[in-house]
């Protein structure tokens, strides 16, 4: 098995100004082609630390990925260091310079500065990985039988280079033994209860198959991973175990593929050729955002009304003023009226409505922070549910959205 | 200066299933009290790798933070390893057991399993850091003059333990030399042009003061960091340089504190006692989500209409059918009508409207993917602007939201 390390460079990672999403994405993509990431390291813009990370990681890993540290400003020191580490000299790379010049003249419409020109310099001991999406080129080095790949830290650029250039190149160089994954998604059961439920199954797994628990926000994903040289054989073993696992957890199973809750709901709606709209108070548009982040969701999503103020609940969702007065905005009757008002306003087949207190303020003894009412309705049916979450504001919003989508999933499935 | 390392444990980090947000948050909090994070490492659920990371990091760092690997399922091996590493034995911690029992009986309302009980076991060589938010206790170890703090990986629990217990304890133990930060926010200028603009300033900085560029989505933050033993002295130097820096970049300055675009806009609206609503097509509720994630935003935010379908644009935002037919949904006249319709519908003082093509599909030769029209309106004034972004769907959405908020900021400021 081929081992990889990922080194991310930048002071911004060590002061917490930036969250490292690159490593997770890279690990995922590498995993798919059978490369195991055994370590991820973040170091600052500090030559000694970068140098020793390169030394250290090339002991155990076959491929070392380096991201970041290639931007135009003075706090970036990575390129000169890589030059020294790989015994090279900085040389102007004409193709990159032409590209950078074109970007500034025709796209950014800003003057090209000395700093930008310097971005086209690369160590002459590397193979340049041409970066059509940005100004910093990727670099491919080899030393003592190990491969080092340096990529810009801008996620959009890094991803493009990995997909178009680096992954195909690695696949062509290395004979990779296949890894297969199958993932199922459960909802409404805790990690430890699930573990008890499938304890015997887990103990009886053959050595080629591994089980991982991936809990997040009330969803627990179970992933089986099989590896070995005979792809047909491991595929058969994997599928057989996967189908057994599905049976064991069927009561809580919401999908037998690695898919988000919003995609589950989207697929169901598309299959049935039905449309959806959301009426959001406490989630404030987050539900709608989750849905519209899916390409093509316009086929089944009409839109949303974020009714943050009571006035908007009344004027746009036709919630009766007295309903709010008598029950409060966070109540079963209000979310019902919101959902039904929305069905009417948007001519949709299904609607979700949510109202709650997300915190940190706004709670009362009777309705503490975290109290949420959700309604999912179709033209024929109404489902409502109360929740009480105990997280911070943002996590309360996220968990509410997930549970609202799940209620919708149930109402759609019930019609089957 | 006190150095720290952060070790995060879990296979899920190395296969990319989970994005590590914990490290960034921890680094931020540690930085505030004058502790420098010099390295972050992620390792899998593998005893050898965890052990060697502990060895390695305790060479250079004074405090080693460990998160994750404490969950109830079988793929977690961290606690037995910590027990061995710190020469202890696993013992039941009664206070934690009582707490876990109570959580299951009264909050989760699920039966307590053997696995849950095991979570109350800790090495007898640690001081327990009581975790009132979850089942896995934090642990504080000391060895060879170094401190090791092990915390659960659930962000909500880890943050609570850090804030309530760990940070106060570290502050009481260590005499920390102060670090001061001041950050300003610029918009509409690239990192390299900014660097050229303040090159002389940067070269002339005294040794106690460091400058960092933090670019993200068209915003570039500039942060000055000063450290030293005499807090009055470094504070004076820092403030003097900061005010000089503000002057140098004043043309692009949007805030002289570390604040998001949505908070800048929120503050302005609150100061003026004005309200806002958003009419969103391509951003699909993301603008509204950014705003409502701010606690207390209900004071100045009325709500949003996500008009994903043209029907909703017409029926809820009063966009003329012919306007769409003649100009297309992504056009200046449509966003104008959306914004004005929304003002009427929600009785707000300001409104933003956005319509665009976020990709990956839906582009045409005339209006390629990334084409966006934005309108910001008040009762008296209309501002519109066209953009052309060239990112992936999610980043197009994020950048659109940021630019729409900026257009609103301009229209509010113009009235001053």
* Distance separating alpha carbons of residues B285 and A403, to the nearest angstrom: 18
* Distance separating alpha carbons of residues B35 and B170, to the nearest angstrom: 10
* Distance separating alpha carbons of residues B403 and B261, to the nearest angstrom: 9
Q: ipTM score of the complex?
A: 0.84
Q: Inter-chain contact A316–B311, Cβ cutoff 8 Å? A: no
* pLDDT score recorded for residue B416: 61
Confidence class for position B143, pLDDT limits 50, 70, 90: very high
Whether B412 contacts B269, CB under 8 Å = yes
Calculate what percentage of chain B has a pLDDT beyond 70: 98
* pLDDT score recorded for residue B73: 66
Please state, rounded to an integer, the average pLDDT across all residues of chain B: 92
Alpha helices by DSSP H, A188-297: 191-197, 199-203, 231-248, 261-272, 286-292
For chain A, the C-alpha Rg in angstroms (whole number) is 26
* pLDDT score recorded for residue B324: 97
- pLDDT tens-digit map of B58-107: 998 999 999 988 877 655 689 999 999 999 999 999 999 999 999 888 87
Three-state DSSP at A23 gives: helix
**If you search the block for the tokens 């009561």, which residue do you land on?**
A251
Whether B355 contacts B400, CB under 8 Å = no
Those residues whose C-beta lies under 8 Å from the C-beta of residue A129, and which sit 6 or more positions away, are A137, A138, A139, A140, A149, A151, A161, A165, A166
Whether B281 contacts B338, CB under 8 Å = yes
Those residues whose C-beta lies under 8 Å from the C-beta of residue B236, and which sit 6 or more positions away, are none
Mean pLDDT confidence for B238-258? 97
Label the pairing between strands B301-307 and B276-280: parallel
Domain A179-255 carries which CATH code?
3.30.70.2860
Token duo for residue B338: 């959306």
> Whose CA is closest to A34, among A174, A211, A163?
A174
Element (H, E) at A254: strand A253-255
* Distance separating alpha carbons of residues B122 and B102, to the nearest angstrom: 19
Task: Round to the nearest angstrom and report the end-to-end CA distance of chain A.
Answer: 46
Beta bridge partners of B384: B375
Token duo for residue A15: 């002061």
Between positions 115 and 154 of B, the ones with CB within 8 A of A are: 115-116
Token duo for residue B248: 């140098």
* Distance separating alpha carbons of residues A392 and A397, to the nearest angstrom: 9
Token duo for residue B382: 């209309």
Three-state DSSP at A321 gives: helix
Nearest neighbour of A156 by CB, restricted to B25, B221, B392: B392
Q: How far is A230 from chain B (nearest CA, A)?
A: 22
Q: Inter-chain contact B72–A307, Cβ cutoff 8 Å? A: no
Helices B47-60, B78-85: axis angle to 10 degrees equals 50
Instruction: Kindly list the distances between the CA atom of residue B60 and the CA atoms of A313, B33, B57, in Å, as whole numbers in the listed order.
Output: 58, 19, 6
pTM of the model: 0.85
Q: How far is B261 from chain A (nearest CA, A)?
A: 15
Helices B332-346, A310-317: axis angle to 10 degrees equals 110
> Whose CA is closest to A166, among A25, A56, A12?
A25
Neighbours of A350 (CB within 10 A): 27
Three-state DSSP at A409 gives: helix
Confidence class for position B57, pLDDT limits 50, 70, 90: very high
| pLDDT-wise least confident of A319-323, B152-156, B318-322 | B152-156
Q: Inter-chain contact B14–A49, Cβ cutoff 8 Å? A: no
B234 shares contact with chain A (CB less than 8 Å): no
* pLDDT score recorded for residue A75: 56
- Which residues on chain A are in Cβ contact (under 8 Å) with B347? 311, 315
- Which residues on chain A are in Cβ contact (under 8 Å) with B31? 15-16
- HSE-up of residue B165 (Cα within 13 Å, Cβ side): 19
Q: Which CATH superfamily is domain B2-173 in?
A: MoaB/Mog-like domain (3.40.980.10)
Token duo for residue B24: 């960034």
Confidence class for position B32, pLDDT limits 50, 70, 90: confident
Token duo for residue A21: 């999403």
Q: Inter-chain contact A15–B28, Cβ cutoff 8 Å? A: yes
- Closest chain B residue to A23 measured between Cα atoms? B16
Mutate to test the interface with A, among B303, B352, B389, B396 (most CBs of A within 10 A): B303
Instruction: Kindly list the distances between the CA atom of residue B119 and the CA atoms of B78, B97, B99, B107, in Å, as whole numbers in the listed order.
Output: 12, 8, 11, 17
B345 shares contact with chain A (CB less than 8 Å): yes
* Distance separating alpha carbons of residues A118 and A73, to the nearest angstrom: 10
Domain B261-414 carries which CATH code?
3.90.950.20
Domain ranges of chain B: 2-173, 179-255, 261-414
Mean pLDDT confidence for B53-62? 94
* pLDDT score recorded for residue B402: 97
Element (H, E) at A186: strand A179-187
* pLDDT score recorded for residue A415: 65
* Distance separating alpha carbons of residues B348 and B291, to the nearest angstrom: 15
Domain A268-414 carries which CATH code?
3.90.950.20
Q: How far is A333 from chain B (nearest CA, A)?
A: 20
> Whose CA is closest to A50, among A24, A70, A27, A22?
A70
Confidence class for position B109, pLDDT limits 50, 70, 90: confident
Three-state DSSP at A332 gives: helix
B26 shares contact with chain A (CB less than 8 Å): yes
Beta bridge partners of B182: B224
- Which residues on chain A are in Cβ contact (under 8 Å) with B195? 72-74, 115
* Distance separating alpha carbons of residues B166 and B128, to the nearest angstrom: 11
Per-residue pLDDT of chain A (416 residues; tens, 9 = 90+): 789 999 999 888 888 877 888 999 999 899 878 898 999 999 988 899 999 999 999 998 999 999 988 877 655 689 999 999 999 999 999 999 999 999 888 877 778 888 888 889 999 999 999 998 888 899 999 999 999 999 998 888 999 999 999 999 998 886 677 778 899 999 999 888 899 999 999 999 999 998 988 877 789 999 998 988 888 999 999 999 999 999 999 999 999 999 999 999 999 999 999 999 999 999 999 999 999 999 999 999 999 999 999 999 999 999 999 999 999 999 999 999 999 999 999 999 999 999 999 998 889 989 999 999 999 999 999 999 999 998 889 889 999 999 999 999 999 998 66
* Distance separating alpha carbons of residues B149 and B29, to the nearest angstrom: 15
Alpha-carbon torsion (B81, B85, B91, B95), positive or negative = negative
- pLDDT tens-digit map of B181-237: 899 999 999 888 899 999 999 999 999 998 988 877 789 999 998 988 888 999 999
Whether A301 contacts A405, CB under 8 Å = no
Q: Inter-chain contact A115–B196, Cβ cutoff 8 Å? A: yes
Cα dihedral A74/A76/A78/A81 (nearest 10)? 30
> Whose CA is closest to A50, among A39, A40, A42?
A42
Beta bridge partners of A149: A65, A140
Token duo for residue B375: 């309108």
Helices B261-272, B393-414: axis angle to 10 degrees equals 30
* Distance separating alpha carbons of residues B242 and B258, to the nearest angstrom: 13
Q: Inter-chain contact B221–A17, Cβ cutoff 8 Å? A: yes
3-class secondary structure per residue, chain B: CEEEEEEEECHHHHCCCCCCCHHHHHHHHHHHCCEEEEEEEEECCCHHHHHHHHHHHHHHCCEEEEECCCCCCCCCCHHHHHHHHCCCCEEECHHHHHHHHHHHHHHHCCCCCHHHHHCCEEECCCEEECCCCCCCCEEEEEECCEEEEEECCCHHHHHHHHHHHHHHHHHHHCCCCCEEEEEEEEECCCHHHHHHHCHHHHHCCCCCEEEEEEEECCEEEEEEEEECCCHHHHHHHHHHHHHHHHHHCHHHEEECCCCCHHHHHHHHHHHHCCCEEEEECCCCCHHHHHHHCCCCHHHCEEEEEEECCHHHHHHHHCCCHHHHHHHCCCCHHHHHHHHHHHHHHHCCCEEEEEEECCCCCCCCCCCCCCEEEEEEEECCCEEEEEEECCCCHHHHHHHHHHHHHHHHHHHHHHCC
């Amino acid at each position: 098995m081929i081992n990889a390390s990922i080194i991310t460079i930048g002071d911004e990672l060590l002061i917490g100004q930036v969250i490292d999403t690159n490593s997770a994405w890279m690990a995922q993509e590498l995993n798919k082609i059978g490369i195991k990431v055994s370590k991820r390291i973040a170091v600052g813009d500090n030559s000694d630390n970068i140098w020793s990370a390169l030394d250290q990681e090339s002991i155990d890993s076959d491929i070392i990925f380096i991201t970041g540290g290639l931007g135009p400003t003075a706090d970036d020191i990575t390129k000169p260091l890589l030059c020294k580490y790989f015994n090279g000299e900085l040389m102007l790379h004409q193709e990159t310079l032409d590209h950078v010049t074109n970007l500034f003249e025709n796209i950014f419409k800003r003057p090209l500065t000395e700093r930008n020109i310097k971005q086209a310099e690369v160590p002459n001991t590397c193979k340049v990985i041409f970066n059509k999406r940005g100004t910093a080129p990727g670099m491919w080095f080899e030393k003592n039988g190990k491969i080092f790949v340096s990529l810009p830290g801008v996620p959009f650029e890094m991803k493009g280079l990995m997909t178009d250039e680096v992954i195909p190149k690695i696949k062509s160089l290395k004979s990779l033994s296949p890894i297969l994954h199958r993932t199922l998604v459960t909802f409404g059961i805790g990690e430890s209860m699930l573990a008890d439920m499938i304890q015997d199954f887990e103990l009886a797994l053959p050595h080629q198959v591994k089980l991982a628990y991936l809990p997040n926000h009330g969803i627990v994903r179970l992933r089986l991973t099989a590896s070995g040289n005979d792809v047909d054989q491991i595929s058969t073993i994997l599928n057989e175990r996967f189908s057994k696992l599905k049976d064991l957890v069927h009561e809580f199973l919401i999908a037998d593929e690695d898919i988000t809750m919003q995609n589950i709901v989207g697929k169901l709606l598309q299959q049935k050729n039905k449309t959806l709209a959301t009426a959001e108070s406490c989630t404030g548009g987050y539900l709608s955002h989750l849905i519209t982040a899916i390409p093509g969701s316009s086929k089944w999503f009409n839109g949303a009304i974020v009714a943050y103020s009571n006035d908007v609940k009344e004027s746009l969702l036709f919630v009766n003023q007295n309903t709010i007065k008598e029950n409060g905005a966070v109540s079963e009757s209000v979310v019902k009226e919101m959902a039904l008002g929305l069905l009417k306003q948007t001519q949709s087949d299904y609607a979700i409505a949510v109202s709650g207190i997300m915190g940190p303020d706004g709670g009362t003894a009777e309705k503490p922070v975290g109290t949420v009412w959700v309604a999912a309705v179709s033209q024929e049916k109404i489902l409502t549910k109360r929740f009480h979450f105990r997280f911070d504001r943002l996590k309360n919003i996220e968990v509410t959205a997930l549970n609202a989508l799940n209620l919708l999933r149930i109402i759609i499935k019930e019609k089957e």
